[in-house]
Structure 1
Amino acid sequence: MKKYIAYAIASGLLLTAGWPSHGFPLLLFIAFVPLLLTEHQISQRAEFKKKGRKIFGLSFLAFIIWNAIVIWWLHFAKETDANGDLQNSWLAYLIPVIANAFFMSIVFQIYHWVKTKAGNIYGLVFLPAIWISFEKLHLNWELTWPWFNLGNGFAKWYEWVQWYEYTGTFGGTLWIWVTNLVIFYYLTAYINKKEINYLNKLGIFGGLLIAVPIGISYIIYANYEEKGKALHALILQPDLDPYNEKYMKDGLQIYDELKQLAVKNMQPNTQFVVAPETAIPGSSALVFDNLYNDLIIQDIQQWTNSKKDLHFVTGASVMRIYPVASLATESASVMKDGITWYDAYNSALQLGSNDSIQIYHKSKLVPGVENFPYRSFLMPIIGEFMLNFGGTTKTLGTQPNRSVFKNKTNAAAVAPIICYESIYGEYTTEYVREGANVLFTMTNDSWWGSTDGHRQLLLYGNLRAIENRRAIVRSANSGVSAFVNQRGDIMKSLPYGEQGALNGTVLMNSELTFYTKYGDVLARVALLIMGIILAYTLAQKLLYKQVKKKNIK
């Protein structure tokens, strides 16, 4: 059994060593092989009892090592202790680590069951299908946490996956699983038969599976020409401490400092000034139905209207008030007076050049931070406990459709992507299908300090540039703020922890990629394959029981 524990640990460490931002993704092509060998050999050995439990436990060991090391930075999130002091939140770290490893282990356990009942070939086809289906679920349910979706593993080595414009990140997931399974197959054949021919085939087919997609990607990368008219933007990076400044400091003072940063760094050709998530008004919130009368909004309109072709796109905390309970939405909360209800929004605004105010409410919310998952079921169990990131402990309001910011003075059609939303591939295509020709990402990912948290989010988000062939203008509260071109290259950036502003130019592309048009086709095919094989396996099991029952009689 010690050998299999070592195998499980090896898989966990290989997955970790292959992961962004410091890993080398070539390791991902062999990372699952030790775990696959573990499952196969335990299944074949008669002396092992309760094989399913052993396989579940060993897979959980592998996955918890991967999860625990890769998102170690999550524990740097702060929470207030009994004395009112900020301390590291181990709960914010342990819950996603344990839960995600548990879900992955369930997926692997179902694969083991199908392989045992339906046969090896069915099992090996079923495994990529159920894993992709699990990743698709993780993109859409209320416990959404797609941080470990395998296609994200190439985010730093994006030159390898330029064909994401056809497949999205699920193409990367399929690539990793098929390569691991081919290597596992020939390695197992060699272990069983000791014929060198199987090692030769392992090297040939494994090498081709890795090299050919990379080669195709580099050809696409070298030959892709950016398209569209130029857009000139100024990115603001205020670098406010999210715990001791951003939501404690006076909102007017925060805005005034942001404005000075913008006015000081604007150039004659600047068309857009972009500020980060919840950049205004700081410690309070704008009132949705009174925006035009807000002093900050009026001041923004005044200085942007002084220049013909200037717009200000920013993140903002927005509140909508309902004077009576009957008008309140499901996400609304009651104020301290017990009578007035309100919705809190994490929003994006576009103002300037005499256009009307345009607004978008963030709709992919961070579970446990901005959204109470399965609220009606869980709230009676755990109460109103939420992690206090971003100035709210309530479920934020959302909107059903994506908004695109357009204007009267230039061709820009802006996708206002807010923080966590940037890691959702098909979700982002909704902006582009609505006409967006450039992506603006507004984020505040400085809750974890100078760790891999903000670096991973930056790299994951840059994959949206490849999928949609849309340039990205990214404004982060503390960094990294950046201009990213349509190939996923970071052209200019401001480092983490530096206050400043950055001028740059991107191109606005209006052509739609295959992925933009059709989305997660691979995931839909995987769901179909998983369903067919699962139904077949259940039918086989039911038939076997009926035959056995008849024979007994």
Structure 2
Amino acid sequence: MKSVRLRIWGLIAAFTVLASVPFLVPHSAIVGVVAFVPLFALADLLEEHKVKHQNWLTYFPFLFFNAATTFWICWISVAGAIAAIALNALQMFFIFWLFRKFRKRFTGALPYIFFIAAWIAWERVYQDVEISWPWLILGESFATSPHLVQWYEYTGFLGGSLWVLTTSTVVYHLLRGSFKFAYTRRIRGALAFATALLLIVPPVVSAVIYDNVEEKGEAVEVVAIQPNIDAYYEKHGGLDQDIQDSIMVALAEPLMSSRTRYVVTPETFTFDFDLDRPSTNGTYKHVLEFLKRYPGADFLLGSVTYRFYSSKAQGTSAVKPIGNIWYDSFNTAMMIDTTGIMNLYHKSKLVPGTEIIPYQRFIPFLGKIMSAFGGSAGSYGRQDQLSILHGRDGLGVGAMICYESVYGDYYRQTAKLGAGFVAVITNDGWWGDTPGYKQHFRYAQLRAIETRRDVVHVANTGITGFIDQKGDVTQHTGWWEPVAIKGDVHINKDLTFYSVNGDIIGRICCFLFLLLTAAWIVRLIMKKGTKKD
């Protein structure tokens, strides 16, 4: 039994390493395509030896994987990080638990098809619920090796998830047939051939696509500002906003030229912005003064904004009372020119706990629970539908705020709405010098591939940089440095297959999961009926 325990923990460790490394180590994503092989072997081992506590032993791999890749959440809240890691792992465990139950009723390849469909269906649905943390969608792991997945312009990042799960399944059966089961030579040959195809064809196709992608569209000059204002001790009241504004101007001014079309600041660069009285905001006045010196430029500003109402019915679902009136607060990106504010986008994919209390209208006490775990006591308002910003020349600019850039299907809609390039504005200093801000920047490389749109990733603290339509980083800043950088972005108006059609793979897997679940239920009912007879 001791040897069985060692094998169990060895398989748990193997999954944790194979699944985690692609999210953490540059150019390592290929190892993740076999990450689930140890997990399938673990399920067999537990069942074969009738080991106790099987649920715990299949929960631990997902718990360790989540902890290894997103431990940096604890920089914001230790209790919140523990809750987020444990609950996200629990969802992954539940899918694997369903797979283990399903294969007691069905044999052959069907349980593995069920598992693949269930996992990807969960990843798809997970992007559209209020308690959403899609940071560890398997397809995101290729952000460390974007040259392998240039075909994301057709499949989106769920194509990467399908690659991981399918390859793991085929490799597992190849090894299982070689060492444990007496598969026929024909079956072993078919599995070996399928393994070779899965390991060789996607990278080769990606290389061919990469060699044929060229930057499309007019080049425009953009200045991106990384003010590097400490998120904990200076940003929110520790450093006067006028001083923060002067830092912004001092960083941007030396890079400005007659060609500069856009200046971009990070998320929530300024606060207390009354949308009905913008002239009362000091940063707004400083921006207008700046633009008078550079009238050819537009300014994309990140701000916390407010809108006040005389009645509750005028606000969003997150409206809050203050005295005899009501107000909404928003995490906003706004486009400004010398005439004032042209248009706004309010962040819609809000961070559970810190920016939104999920399902508060159905579970009113959830706000108190999340506050105890480090969340906020209130919520931001949000837009019902995605919109893009427009410069004075009518050019569409996508604005993704913070971790909205993790949502591939949401992000791709900016291109469909007419964005020629996308600005991802963020404040990644909350996580300290950890893998968090690096992962966030890399995910923008995948979004560039999916939409074939240049990306300007602008962080208060983290990484600010330019990413081209191939997903290559053309320049970037370092960690913890106040700096501005200037670069050209290309205005691409062509749409990729993924930009137009979205997560087809996710929709197919949702249908397949429901179909197989229905078959499972029918079989259970029939079995009960047989027992009664």
Normalised by the length of structure 1, the TM-score is 0.91
The separation in 2 between residues aligned to 1:304 and 1:381, in whole angstroms, is: 45
Shift in CA distance, 294/26, structure 1 to aligned 2, threshold 3 Å: closer
In the TM superposition, what is the alpha-carbon distance from 1:454 to its structure 2 partner?
0.3
Shift in CA distance, 202/543, structure 1 to aligned 2, threshold 3 Å: closer
The separation in 2 between residues aligned to 1:314 and 1:103, in whole angstroms, is: 37
The separation in 2 between residues aligned to 1:325 and 1:485, in whole angstroms, is: 44
Question: In structure 2, what is the equivalent of residue 86 of structure 1?
Answer: none
The answer to whether the Cα contact below 8 Å between 1:20 and 1:155 also exists between their aligned partners in 2 is: no
The answer to whether the Cα contact below 8 Å between 2:415 and 2:499 also exists between their aligned partners in 1 is: yes
Does residue 155 (structure 1) correspond to residue 143 (structure 2)? The answer is yes
Question: In structure 1, what is the equivalent of residue 468 of structure 2?
Answer: 485
In the TM superposition, what is the alpha-carbon distance from 1:449 to its structure 2 partner?
1.1
Question: In structure 1, what is the equivalent of residue 333 of structure 2?
Answer: 348
The separation in 1 between residues aligned to 2:51 and 2:208, in whole angstroms, is: 51
Does residue 398 (structure 1) correspond to residue 409 (structure 2)? The answer is no
Question: In structure 1, what is the equivalent of residue 350 of structure 2?
Answer: 365
Provide Cα deviations, 1:452-471, integer angstroms capped at 9, x if missing partner: 01000111122110000000
Provide Cα deviations, 1:238-278, integer angstroms capped at 9, x if missing partner: 00000100102222222232123222331231111110001
Does residue 297 (structure 1) correspond to residue 284 (structure 2)? The answer is yes
Question: In structure 1, what is the equivalent of residue 491 of structure 2?
Answer: 508
Question: In structure 2, what is the equivalent of residue 309 of structure 1?
Answer: 296
Question: In structure 2, what is the equivalent of residue 126 of structure 1?
Answer: 114
Does residue 466 (structure 1) correspond to residue 446 (structure 2)? The answer is no
Question: In structure 2, what is the equivalent of residue 67 of structure 1?
Answer: 66
The one of 35, 41, 45 equivalent to 1:37 is 41
In the TM superposition, what is the alpha-carbon distance from 1:4 to its structure 2 partner?
2.4
The separation in 1 between residues aligned to 2:423 and 2:458, in whole angstroms, is: 8
The answer to whether the Cα contact below 8 Å between 2:360 and 2:366 also exists between their aligned partners in 1 is: no
Which amino acid in the other structure matches residue 373 of structure 1? P
Question: In structure 2, what is the equivalent of residue 6 of structure 1?
Answer: 10
| Worse overlay, 301-310 or 487-496 | 301-310
Does residue 441 (structure 1) correspond to residue 428 (structure 2)? The answer is no
Question: In structure 2, what is the equivalent of residue 260 of structure 1?
Answer: 250
In the TM superposition, what is the alpha-carbon distance from 1:356 to its structure 2 partner?
4.5
Question: In structure 2, what is the equivalent of residue 80 of structure 1?
Answer: none
The separation in 2 between residues aligned to 1:259 and 1:495, in whole angstroms, is: 20
Which amino acid in the other structure matches residue 347 of structure 1? T
Superposed, 1:46-65 pairs within 5 Å as 48=50, 54=54, 56-65=55-64
The separation in 2 between residues aligned to 1:298 and 1:381, in whole angstroms, is: 39
Question: In structure 1, what is the equivalent of residue 221 of structure 2?
Answer: 232
Question: In structure 1, what is the equivalent of residue 157 of structure 2?
Answer: 169
The separation in 1 between residues aligned to 2:479 and 2:451, in whole angstroms, is: 26
In the TM superposition, what is the alpha-carbon distance from 1:205 to its structure 2 partner?
2.9
The one of 283, 288, 299 equivalent to 2:275 is 288
Shift in CA distance, 147/202, structure 1 to aligned 2, threshold 3 Å: same
In the TM superposition, what is the alpha-carbon distance from 1:500 to its structure 2 partner?
0.8
The separation in 1 between residues aligned to 2:508 and 2:531, in whole angstroms, is: 35
Shift in CA distance, 157/22, structure 1 to aligned 2, threshold 3 Å: closer
Question: In structure 1, what is the equivalent of residue 93 of structure 2?
Answer: 105
The separation in 1 between residues aligned to 2:251 and 2:330, in whole angstroms, is: 25
The answer to whether the Cα contact below 8 Å between 1:355 and 1:407 also exists between their aligned partners in 2 is: no
* Count of residue pairs the alignment pairs up: 527
For residue 243 of structure 1, give the secondary structure of its aligned residue in structure 2.
Answer: coil
In the TM superposition, what is the alpha-carbon distance from 1:334 to its structure 2 partner?
2.3
The answer to whether the Cα contact below 8 Å between 1:369 and 1:387 also exists between their aligned partners in 2 is: no
Q: Which runs of 5+ in 2 are unaligned?
A: none
For residue 118 of structure 1, give the secondary structure of its aligned residue in structure 2.
Answer: coil
Question: In structure 2, what is the equivalent of residue 319 of structure 1?
Answer: 306
The separation in 1 between residues aligned to 2:360 and 2:382, in whole angstroms, is: 15
The separation in 1 between residues aligned to 2:260 and 2:159, in whole angstroms, is: 38
The separation in 1 between residues aligned to 2:369 and 2:43, in whole angstroms, is: 41
The separation in 2 between residues aligned to 1:356 and 1:48, in whole angstroms, is: 66
In the TM superposition, what is the alpha-carbon distance from 1:533 to its structure 2 partner?
0.8
In the TM superposition, what is the alpha-carbon distance from 1:357 to its structure 2 partner?
2.5
In the TM superposition, what is the alpha-carbon distance from 1:301 to its structure 2 partner?
2.3
The CA RMSD over aligned residues, in Å, is 2.2
The answer to whether the Cα contact below 8 Å between 1:305 and 1:352 also exists between their aligned partners in 2 is: no
In the TM superposition, what is the alpha-carbon distance from 1:93 to its structure 2 partner?
1.5
For residue 306 of structure 2, give the secondary structure of its aligned residue in structure 1.
Answer: strand
Provide Cα deviations, 1:271-327, integer angstroms capped at 9, x if missing partner: 11110001124xxx1011112554432342233144342111011110112234443
The answer to whether the Cα contact below 8 Å between 2:35 and 2:164 also exists between their aligned partners in 1 is: no
Which amino acid in the other structure matches residue 287 of structure 2? I
The separation in 1 between residues aligned to 2:365 and 2:118, in whole angstroms, is: 32
The answer to whether the Cα contact below 8 Å between 1:482 and 1:493 also exists between their aligned partners in 2 is: yes
| Worse overlay, 497-506 or 380-389 | 380-389
| Worse overlay, 398-407 or 498-507 | 398-407
Shift in CA distance, 243/321, structure 1 to aligned 2, threshold 3 Å: same
Does residue 179 (structure 1) correspond to residue 167 (structure 2)? The answer is yes
Which amino acid in the other structure matches residue 50 of structure 2? F
- Percent identical pairs in the alignment equals 30
Shift in CA distance, 202/119, structure 1 to aligned 2, threshold 3 Å: closer
The separation in 1 between residues aligned to 2:439 and 2:428, in whole angstroms, is: 10
Shift in CA distance, 24/71, structure 1 to aligned 2, threshold 3 Å: same
Q: Which runs of 5+ in 1 are unaligned?
A: 78-88
Question: In structure 2, what is the equivalent of residue 82 of structure 1?
Answer: none
Provide Cα deviations, 1:409-464, integer angstroms capped at 9, x if missing partner: 3x631001111101111101222111111001111011011110100011112211
Shift in CA distance, 389/489, structure 1 to aligned 2, threshold 3 Å: farther
Question: In structure 1, what is the equivalent of residue 368 of structure 2?
Answer: 383
